């Protein structure tokens, strides 16, 4: 059976399971549609939350984001701590009290606690911006994964994905989504772990990738640790050491914090804790969610580090048991003839890996090309181009002299540039010949690099799709419940019947899927940048307002609204200053480079400062305006104690 | 809820547990994982220095323990104050 048929079968089976679950778990009431009837056991809810939270980016890209970063793998730990530490905040500062509140959406709490329709609508606005931003990336992820594994175009893949989400999300609402996500979690964690175990066994002899990360490097008989080996190889090739200290500790601190409070403020994550039966379950469910997330997040840095080491030793066979330059680089002939290396050409075809033999020596040399070398090579290429393009009858003496001069200048740079203790001229290097290593390849190519059977490759395809679909469904539910519950029932037609609201919820879900599909087909060019905005906004608007709503009886409408708006404006303006006003290219005030950032704070990290601004503004404004009325104080007191959560739902 | 002072005592107990938990949360991730890493380079966890390991794996384990410990302690506080469900 060929790989394509195998992929089709495995993906087909998983899809059939998802649809089957959807039919079994149809939603019959708004409570089931919005919050799965508040009857999901905490362990299962934790698993569903794990699938909801781990997107295509976590599954496919994160290992590569850590492993291939020019700043080194350590600095990127911000993602690992940031995307897990937020669950501690959720479990202690938000989830139990919001579950006690016992309603269905985040804006609904904000509207009731701050006794204001305006506050509720501002929250709806923030929620929609955050969730729509996110969903674009997920729909794109579905399309890309389909196109890679099932030989359809990205657009066709997107339509298939949208149809599947439509089937179980519109039919099942939160109930269908939750039970589907449990199945999706199981698929994605198996798909992620199997290749990781094999790569860890082969590189470190450790069965557990978490131990492999701190284990010793097996091909050298365990005399050197895997991380020390990785540091040695990458620094020899001119890259920053993998475990190098961060160059901007302050920014790493703020970035980690922004991801943590941003995670705790993401509406599609918060609403997951509305589905458990009791307040105590909301606390433990956050713990279970983190257990299931940690199964992937503690493996990801091991996968990243080992895949990077594998990639480096593949291109420099000498690095396996000594110096990278002790043997010649991988030859083009070897790539063509060795069946163990056939993955290199497979992934070259997808353009995730690109290389060319620039100096024509039959070898593919991979290293971090110093800037001076790049410039000297460019000058030479330009001189050669000018000579080649000169008219046949023109006097070429000057042009030929220019080429000779450029060649001499380039050779001088090569003789002066040192790599691993020798000059590039001595090593026979002229330019880096591996021109592209995409982040995604660190996970996608793993099964083939480790020479695993075809069904593992098929499982990785199904896992990538499961990760993207489960997150998309969770986001779509957050959007549709904000529209049907907060806009239609909360503002436009408060007298709508239960049946009418359920229908409205399904229609807004269908509309949200159509919008997400359209955005996936026509992604705005700034899709990558807006993720910074989504986290920044969640950190600077929703998290502070929810926390103050629970922990303070004094913060009032005026404080909450001005606080949210201050956080919103401050954060988005700082991001726009570097990424362009409303992300329109060319309208940025400053170039987005570290030396231009205020106090070295990157736009990705600004959410932390935005949250501080929100807290201060809300507190000061509340102090100089009237205290909240008694019924709101009573509400705060009631959500602080678990007792009576069962009866709290007033619908 | 029995009375106002009992409610206040319950909330104070909850806030105290949260503050202790968040102090540990901060010390492990931001402290050992980021701020103190350069100072603690000599301490090794297998092939990684303490700060690197805390930043890439260790903090996550601590987070999990913290949440379950919080859930367990709050379960007891709930019962002690008679506010469990």
Residue A215 has a pLDDT of: 96
Residues 6+ apart with CB under 8 A from A431: A358, A359, A365, A369, A373, A374, A377
The answer to whether residue A188 is domain-embedded is yes
Residue A525 has pLDDT above 70, yes or no: no
Task: Give CA torsion, residues A305, A308, A312, A317, to 10 deg.
Answer: 70
Q: Residue A469: which region, alpha, beta or left (left: phi > 0; alpha: psi -120 to 50)?
A: alpha
CA angle, A62 then A68 then A70, to 5°: 125
What CATH number does the domain containing A38 carry?
Answer: 1.10.4160
Total count of domains within chain A: 2
Around B72, how many Cα atoms within 13 Å sit in the side-chain half-sphere? 7
Residue A487 has pLDDT above 60, yes or no: yes
Q: Where are the alpha helices (DSSP H) in A25-76?
A: 30-35, 42-53, 56, 62-67
| DSSP-based three-state secondary structure for A463 | helix
> Residue A436: which H helix or E strand, with range?
strand A434-437
By the 8 A CB rule, do A69 and A76 touch? Answer: yes
B2-55 residue pLDDT tens: 567 888 999 999 999 999 999 999 999 999 999 999 999 999 999 999 999 999
Of A83-87, A416-420, B11-15, minimum mean pLDDT range: A416-420
Domain boundary among A481, A496, A522: A522
Q: Does A290 touch chain B (CB under 8 A)?
A: yes
Residue A135 has a pLDDT of: 85
Q: Assess whether A239 and A109 both reside in one domain.
A: yes
The whole-angstrom separation of Cα A605 and Cα A305 is 25
Q: Which residues pair with A437 in a beta bridge?
A: A353
The answer to whether residue A626 is domain-embedded is no
**Residue A286's closest chain B neighbor by CA?**
B67
| Residue of A224, A642, A644, A649 to mutate, interface with B, max B Cβ within 10 Å | A642
Q: Does A249 touch chain B (CB under 8 A)?
A: yes
Give the β-pairing of A422-423 and A418-419: antiparallel
Q: Assess whether A282 and A373 both reside in one domain.
A: no
State the nearest Cα–Cα gap between B42 and chain A, in angstroms.
Answer: 14
Q: Assess whether A92 and A212 both reside in one domain.
A: yes
Task: Supply A318's token pair.
Answer: 């000498």
Chain A residues with CB under 8 Å of B70 CB are 91-92, 283
Residue A648 has pLDDT above 70, yes or no: no
The answer to whether residue A273 is domain-embedded is yes
Q: Assess whether A184 and A109 both reside in one domain.
A: yes
Chain B residues with CB under 8 Å of A287 CB are 64, 67-68, 71
Q: Assess whether A416 and A457 both reside in one domain.
A: no
When CB atoms are compared, the residue of B11, B61, B83 closest to A643 is B83
When CB atoms are compared, the residue of A85, A245, A249 closest to B63 is A85
Q: Assess whether A86 and A216 both reside in one domain.
A: yes
State the nearest Cα–Cα gap between A151 and chain B, in angstroms.
Answer: 36
Q: Which residues pair with B44 in a beta bridge?
A: B49
The domains of chain B are located at: 4-80
- CB atoms B35 and A253 under 8 Å: yes
Residue A257 has pLDDT above 90, yes or no: yes
Chain A residues with CB under 8 Å of B66 CB are 88
Q: Assess whether A128 and A10 both reside in one domain.
A: yes
* DSSP conformational letter for B35: I
| DSSP-based three-state secondary structure for A103 | coil
Q: Assess whether A401 and A377 both reside in one domain.
A: yes
- CB atoms B47 and A243 under 8 Å: no
- CB atoms B11 and A249 under 8 Å: no
Q: Residue A102: which region, alpha, beta or left (left: phi > 0; alpha: psi -120 to 50)?
A: left
Mean of per-residue pLDDT scores for chain A: 91
When CB atoms are compared, the residue of A92, A216, A640 closest to B21 is A92
- pLDDT band at residue A650, thresholds of 50, 70 and 90? very low
The answer to whether residue A401 is domain-embedded is yes
Give the percent of chain A with pLDDT over 90.
Answer: 69
State the nearest Cα–Cα gap between B60 and chain A, in angstroms.
Answer: 7
Q: Which residues pair with A216 in a beta bridge?
A: A225
* Nearest Cα residue to A302 out of A122, A80, A587: A80
- CB atoms A287 and B22 under 8 Å: no
Residue A318 has pLDDT above 50, yes or no: yes
- CB atoms B70 and A283 under 8 Å: yes
- pLDDT band at residue A621, thresholds of 50, 70 and 90? very high
Q: Assess whether A418 and A462 both reside in one domain.
A: no
| Residue of A214, A225, A228, A255 to mutate, interface with B, max B Cβ within 10 Å | A214
* DSSP conformational letter for A331: B
Site of tokens 């943590």: A260
When CB atoms are compared, the residue of A85, A279, A301 closest to B25 is A85
- CB atoms A290 and B30 under 8 Å: no
By the 8 A CB rule, do A399 and A387 touch? Answer: yes
- pLDDT band at residue A651, thresholds of 50, 70 and 90? very low
State the nearest Cα–Cα gap between B72 and chain A, in angstroms.
Answer: 8
Chain B residues with CB under 8 Å of A643 CB are 1, 82-85
Q: Does A640 touch chain B (CB under 8 A)?
A: yes
The answer to whether residue A187 is domain-embedded is yes
B20-to-B15, B26, B70 alpha-carbon distances in Å: 9, 10, 10
Q: Where are the alpha helices (DSSP H) in A450-497?
A: 454-481
The answer to whether residue A444 is domain-embedded is no
When CB atoms are compared, the residue of A77, A278, A637 closest to B56 is A77
Task: Supply A326's token pair.
Answer: 């002790």
Mean pLDDT of A106-124: 94
A139-188 residue pLDDT tens: 877 887 777 777 788 888 889 889 988 888 888 889 999 999 999 999 99
* Nearest Cα residue to A311 out of A297, A298, A324: A324
The whole-angstrom separation of Cα A319 and Cα A311 is 11
The sign of the dihedral angle between the CA atoms of A413, A419, A421, A426 is negative
- CB atoms A290 and B59 under 8 Å: no
- CB atoms A213 and B71 under 8 Å: no
Task: Give CA torsion, residues A84, A227, A203, A337, to 10 deg.
Answer: 110
* Nearest Cα residue to A603 out of A551, A526, A505, A550: A526
Q: Does A584 touch chain B (CB under 8 A)?
A: no
* DSSP conformational letter for A522: S
* DSSP conformational letter for A208: S
The answer to whether residue A605 is domain-embedded is no
Q: Does A635 touch chain B (CB under 8 A)?
A: no
Task: Supply A432's token pair.
Answer: 């880096």
Domain boundary among A501, A522, A543: A522
- pLDDT band at residue A446, thresholds of 50, 70 and 90? confident
Residues 6+ apart with CB under 8 A from A503: none
Task: Supply A247's token pair.
Answer: 């160059």
State which residues form the domain around A468.
3-307+450-522
Residue A404 has a pLDDT of: 93
Restricting to A residues 54-93, those with a Cβ less than 8 Å away from any Cβ of B are 73-74, 77, 80-81, 84-85, 87-88, 91-93
Task: Supply A321's token pair.
Answer: 């048991």
SS (H, E, C) A260-319: HHHHHCCHHHHHHHHCCCCHHHHHHHHHHHHHHHHHHHCCHHHHHHHHHHHHHHHHCHHH
For chain A, helix, strand, coil in percent to 5 are 75, 0, 25
The answer to whether residue A111 is domain-embedded is yes
Residue A645 has a pLDDT of: 72
| DSSP-based three-state secondary structure for A225 | strand
When CB atoms are compared, the residue of B11, B57, B67 closest to A287 is B67
Residues 6+ apart with CB under 8 A from A175: A25, A26, A27, A32, A33, A36, A37
Q: Assess whether A463 and A409 both reside in one domain.
A: no
Residue A333 has a pLDDT of: 95
The whole-angstrom separation of Cα A409 and Cα A467 is 51
- CB atoms A245 and B34 under 8 Å: no
Inter-chain contacts counted by CB atoms under 8 A, chains A and B: 142
Q: Which residues pair with B48 in a beta bridge?
A: B45
Domain boundary among A469, A495, A522: A522
Q: Assess whether A35 and A112 both reside in one domain.
A: yes
By the 8 A CB rule, do A461 and A141 touch? Answer: no
| Residue of B8, B10, B27, B55 to mutate, interface with A, max A Cβ within 10 Å | B55
CA A244 centroid distance within chain: 23
A346-383 residue pLDDT tens: 888 878 899 999 989 999 999 999 999 999 999 999 99
- On the 0-12 / 13-18 / 19+ scale of CB atoms within 10 A, A64 is buried
Chain A residues with CB under 8 Å of B71 CB are 91, 280, 283-284, 287
Q: Assess whether A228 and A173 both reside in one domain.
A: yes
Residues 6+ apart with CB under 8 A from A187: A14, A459, A462, A463, A466
**ipTM over cut 0.90:** yes
A184-to-A117, A134, A479 alpha-carbon distances in Å: 37, 19, 21
The whole-angstrom separation of Cα A286 and Cα A95 is 8
């Amino acid at each position: 059976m060929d790989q394509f048929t195998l992929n089709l079968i495995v993906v087909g089976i998983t899809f059939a399971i998802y649809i089957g679950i959807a039919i079994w778990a149809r939603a019959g009431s708004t409570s089931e549609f919005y919050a799965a009837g508040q009857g999901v056991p905490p362990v299962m809810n934790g698993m569903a939350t794990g699938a909801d939270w781990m997107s295509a980016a976590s599954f496919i890209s994160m290992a590569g984001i850590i492993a291939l970063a020019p700043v080194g793998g350590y600095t990127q730990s911000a993602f690992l701590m940031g995307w897990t530490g937020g669950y501690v905040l959720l479990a202690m500062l938000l989830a139990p009290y919001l579950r006690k509140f016992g309603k269905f959406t985040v804006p609904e709490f904000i509207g009731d606690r701050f006794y204001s329709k305006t506050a509720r609508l501002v929250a709806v606005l923030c929620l929609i911006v955050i969730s729509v931003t996110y969903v674009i990336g997920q729909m794109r992820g579905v399309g890309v994964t389909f196109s890679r594994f099932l030989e359809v175009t990205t657009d066709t893949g997107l339509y298939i994905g949208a149809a599947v989400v439509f089937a179980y999300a519109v039919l099942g609402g939160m109930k269908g989504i939750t039970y589907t996500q449990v199945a999706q979690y199981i698929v994605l964690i198996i798909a992620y772990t199997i290749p990781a175990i094999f790569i860890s066994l082969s590189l470190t002899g450790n069965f557990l990738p978490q131990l492999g990360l701190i284990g010793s490097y097996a091909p050298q008989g365990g005399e050197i640790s895997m991380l020390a080996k990785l540091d040695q190889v990458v620094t020899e090739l001119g890259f920053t050491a993998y475990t190098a200290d961060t160059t901007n500790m302050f920014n790493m601190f703020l970035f980690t914090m922004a991801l943590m409070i941003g995670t705790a403020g993401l509406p599609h994550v918060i609403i997951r804790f509305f589905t458990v039966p009791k307040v105590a379950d909301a606390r433990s469910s956050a713990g279970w969610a983190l257990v299931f997330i940690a199964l992937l997040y503690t493996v990801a840095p091991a996968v990243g580090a080992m895949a990077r080491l594998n990639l480096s030793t593949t291109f420099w066979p000498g690095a396996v048991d000594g110096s990278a330059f002790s043997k010649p680089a991988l030859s083009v002939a070897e790539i063509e003839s060795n069946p163990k290396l056939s993955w290199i050409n497979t992934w070259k075809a997808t353009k995730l890996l690109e290389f060319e033999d620039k100096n024509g020596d039959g070898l593919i040399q991979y290293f971090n090309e110093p800037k001076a070398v790049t410039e000297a090579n460019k000058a030479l290429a330009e001189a050669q181009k000018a000579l080649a393009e000169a008219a046949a009858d023109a006097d070429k003496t000057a042009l030929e002299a220019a080429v000779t001069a450029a060649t001499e200048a380039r050779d001088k740079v090569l003789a002066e540039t040192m790599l691993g203790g020798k000059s590039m001229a001595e090593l026979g290097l002229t330019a880096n010949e591996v021109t592209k290593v995409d982040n995604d390849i660190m996970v996608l190519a793993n099964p083939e690099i480790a020479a695993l059977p075809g069904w593992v490759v098929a499982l990785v395809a199904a896992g990538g799709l499961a990760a993207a679909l489960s997150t998309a469904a969770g986001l779509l539910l957050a959007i549709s419940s904000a529209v049907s519950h907060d806009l239609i029932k909360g503002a436009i037609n408060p007298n709508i019947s239960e049946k009418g609201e359920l229908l409205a919820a399904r229609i807004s879900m269908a509309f949200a899927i159509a919008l997400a599909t359209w955005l996936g087909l026509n992604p705005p060019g700034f899709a990558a940048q807006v993720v910074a905005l989504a986290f920044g906004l969640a950190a600077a608007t929703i998290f502070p307002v929810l926390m103050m709503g629970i922990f303070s009886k004094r913060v009032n409408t005026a404080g909450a609204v001005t606080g949210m708006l201050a956080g919103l404006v401050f954060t988005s303006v700082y991001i726009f200053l570097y990424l362009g006003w409303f992300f329109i290219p060319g309208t940025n005030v400053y170039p987005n480079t570290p030396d231009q950032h205020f106090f070295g704070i990157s736009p990705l990290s600004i959410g932390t400062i935005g949250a501080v601004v929100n807290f201060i503004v809300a507190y000061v404004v509340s102090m100089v305006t009237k205290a909240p009325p008694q019924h709101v104080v009573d509400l705060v007191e009631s959500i602080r104690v678990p007792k009576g959560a069962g009866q709290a739902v007033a619908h | 809820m029995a009375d106002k002072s009992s409610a206040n005592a319950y909330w104070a107990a909850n806030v105290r547990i949260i503050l202790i938990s968040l102090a540990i949360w901060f010390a492990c991730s931001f402290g050992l994982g980021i701020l103190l890493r350069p100072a603690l380079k000599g301490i090794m966890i297998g092939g990684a220095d303490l700060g690197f390991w805390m930043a890439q794996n260790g903090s996550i384990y601590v987070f999990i323990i913290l949440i379950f410990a919080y859930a367990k302690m709050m379960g007891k506080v709930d019962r002690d104050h008679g506010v469990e469900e």
